[in-house]
Structure 1
Amino acid sequence: MAGEQGTSTRWLSHDEQQAWRAYLRAHRELQVALDRDLHCFDISLPEYELLSMLSEQEGDRARMSVLADLVVQSRSRVTHTAKRLEARGWVRREPTPEDGRGVALALTPAGRRLIESAAPTHVHSVRDHFIDLLTPDQLCVLRDAFSQVRSHLVPGVQPEDEIA
């Protein structure tokens, strides 16, 4: 367990350290590249991801808490992102009809048009900077490895949940 006192440290081997640093650097550089490729739409990668997840929900709307879980961000960060998107007319906040206490975010027609126009560029960017650089076997290994990591970090998540 991280941070336990009184245990000896299992330092990373040279190969483990190289793998860890390669992951960190590639992950960060990939995010920069994907973000850069969306600038022509005046949208950031986190904003695109939120709109994309919203566009996949029934009725183009979802509770803010559900969106936070889908994009793996804090609720406060999703709220700040939603404010920026709302100011641009791409989403609107609505009370949830289920209980009236929660807040849902709904994609506006302008938001739908934006996500539909940006999606081909984003998919091309993902292919160009990630998918097409790897073999099908490498992609399967990555999927399995990161599904395992996520199921460790998020109690109750099963590796097959990653596909949805």
Structure 2
Amino acid sequence: MRKKINLSDFSPASPHKYCCKSRNTKITILYQMSRCTIFQLTMEVLRSLRVLAMGAHSPELYNNLGLCCLYAQQLDLIYPCFQRALELAIDPLVKAEIWYNLSYVALTAGDVQLAVQCLNVCLSADASHASALNNLAVLYHKTGKTSLTKAYLTSATTVDPNLPEPQINLEILLND
């Protein structure tokens, strides 16, 4: 049974609020607030906050922080979080996920060309990233490049036959 925890349960003496430097404290509080608005504050969230406060840094953590900053409209912190995630990432699969999320940030900002570039870098790190192939196909379809769209959707379906989006998009493309 999980105990529900409220934001009011955090006292000024709580260790994850005051053990960091001022910039990290802002990020910790932002991370905590955005996680509370998206999910309810559970023990898993408290564990991840504690990991951040103790100084353990990972590319996945900064990747998630970048997305939390995006959802919280903290636009000045988005790119530094992703930059730190890319600096820490060693595994090509992790780098691919970071670039995939950066393409989402670019699309949110309305920069389609940057999103295409991010997806291409994602595919250079992991050529079997089916979601990136699908998203790249959709972006090429928006620019009118139908042959590239079909090629990327076919590749995405081949790479991950269980992913429904490329199959649905390919059916729509073939029916047009």
TM-score grouping bracket, smaller chain normalisation: under 0.3
TM-score (norm 1): 0.27
More strand by percentage: 1
TM-score by length of structure 2 reads 0.26
Instruction: Select the structure that is richer in helix.
Output: 2
Q: Which has the higher contact order (CA 8 A, sep 6+)?
A: 1
